[in-house]
Amino acid sequence: MENKVKLKGKAQMTVNGRTAEFPVYSGTLGPDVVDIGTLYKQADVFTLDPGFTSTGSCESQITFIDGDEGVLLHRGYPIDQLAEKSSFLEVCYLLLHGELPNESQAKTFNTTITRHTMLHAQFDRFFEGFRRDAHPMAVMVGAVGALSAFYHDSTDINDPVQRLVASHRMIAKMPTIAARAYKYTSGQPFVSPRNELDYASNFLRMCFSVPAEDYAVNPVLARAMDRIFILHADHEQNASTSTVRLAGSSGANPFACIAAGIACLWGPSHGGANEAALKMLSEIGTVDRVHEYVKKAKDKNDPFRLMGFGHRVYKNYDPRAKVMQKTCHEVLKEVGAESDPLLPVAMELERIALSDEYFIEKKLYPNIDFYSGITLKAMGFPTDMFTVLFALARTVGWIAQWQEMIEDPTQRIGRPRQIYTGAPRRDYVPMSQRG
């Protein structure tokens, strides 16, 4: 990666009587940054920003988000155009290589991914170590981490060829592992990938086909699945991507870094929100109870939050949520679930939230997780598989960001500091002298 920040000027900070000066850089789009890397050296103080609300961790050329305008670009291309006109594997190529592929590059890339979809035969026995009632995300964290025990020839992070092979293997094998996590926890036999099927169709078949009968992929659902993968592919420096970058900054192998990203994504504030949002809609149950839950969400003394609403960056409608809502209606119509009782609950919740002063003032809009749960349920996935699907799609984003970090000449191990408010130095107290 070639660093492309442009020096724009200088910033000064005076603290405890000492004045420090810092370079101000501008990028292609978005806010300028103040490089405070020499603050401690100049003024003997740290900054403090626990949620990183005003802190950039890196320079990146992959994804840009304008939260106020509700804009999401992947290598400059708007998410709604990619969702409408591209395919998930084409978006994978774009995220990894920075440009849309030409015909020959697309063909080579698709063939490469297709030929990496199988797992080592012994890998299937790894799943046997889990209880059948394990949460599929627990299986994913363990299984993806275990890939480093099988594919030693793509763990040397200093070898660009091995990094590319690991990237291809991760993108290709995640659907196979995710489908196995579903089959294992549902007690059905594993289904091998088929090379004649496209990425999304292959995944649906590995999840839903059974040996007892033929299975035909529904093209409308396959297109919806592919679009859902595109919507979840990457999202700048979110919590799980930052986890992958931090793990990678120590030199950990790519499989271990992706496993760390999966673990972070599992949380209900992040990738677990789609599962939590559907559970919330089911708990609300009927349209007439929506008001009661909106009231709870606004009550400062009640920890309840509307799952699928709000976002650290988007203070406008999440552009992915609009495409997700359209896909939701398409899928419900295709499977004849337009009468899903949760849909009117979701639409009434959205209507109230978008007109309620509390949500308007706090700029809380539906995010991608709000409609994805209803859609995935209609496609036949159990609730506990929703975050697995998010992890499957986000793997390409994690890998692209990990590659970018490794290739960044300014990259160093991430090691934040702190403000210490614990006990001052004190001597050890023998047991006989303690209270």
Closer CB to ligand SDX, residue 233 or residue 259?
233
- The torsion of the CA quartet 149, 153, 158, 162, rounded to 10 degrees, works out to -120
Residue 63 binding ligand SDX, by CB under 6 A = no
Distance in angstroms (rounded) separating the CA atoms of residues 377 and 389:
12
Separation of alpha carbons 302 and 300, rounded Å: 5
Of 116 and 235, nearer to ligand SDX (C-beta) is 235
- The C-alpha atoms of residue 386 and residue 270 are separated, in whole angstroms, by 12
| Contacts (CB under 6 A) with ligand SDX, residues 224-283 | 235, 238, 269-270, 273
Cβ neighbours of 60 (radius 10 Å): 20
Query: 97 or 270, CB closer to ligand SDX?
Result: 270
Judged by DSSP in three states, 251 sits in: coil
308: contact with ligand SDX by CB under 6 A: yes
Q: Which residues of 208-217 are buried (b: 16+ CB within 10 A; e: fewer)?
A: bbeeeeeeeb
Examine residue 329 and tell whether it contacts ligand SDX (CB under 6 A): no
Q: Is 152 annotated as catalytic?
A: no
Residues 201 and 88: their CA atoms lie apart, in Å, by 12
Q: Name the one range near ligand SDX by CB under 6 A: 16-24, 35-43, 102-110, 308-316.
A: 308-316
Q: Are strands 63-66 and 71-74 parallel, antiparallel or unpaired?
A: antiparallel
Q: Which of residues 23-52 bind ligand SDX (CB under 6 A)?
A: 51
Q: Say how many C-beta atoms besides its own lie within 10 A of residue 46's C-beta.
A: 13
> Shortest Cβ distance from residue 92 to ligand SDX (Å)?
16
Piece of 23-31, 38-46, 304-312, 324-332 that binds ligand SDX (CB under 6 A): 304-312
Residue span binding ligand SDX (CB under 6 A) among the ranges 33-41, 121-129, 163-171, 359-367: 359-367
- In the complex with ligand SDX, the residue whose CB is nearer, 107 or 362, is 362
Look up 97 and say whether it is catalytic.
no
Residue pointed to by tokens 């724009």: 8
Q: Which residues are catalytic?
A: 311, 369
- Binding stretches for ligand SDX (CB under 6 A): 51, 235, 238, 269-270, 273, 297, 305-313, 362, 364, 367-369
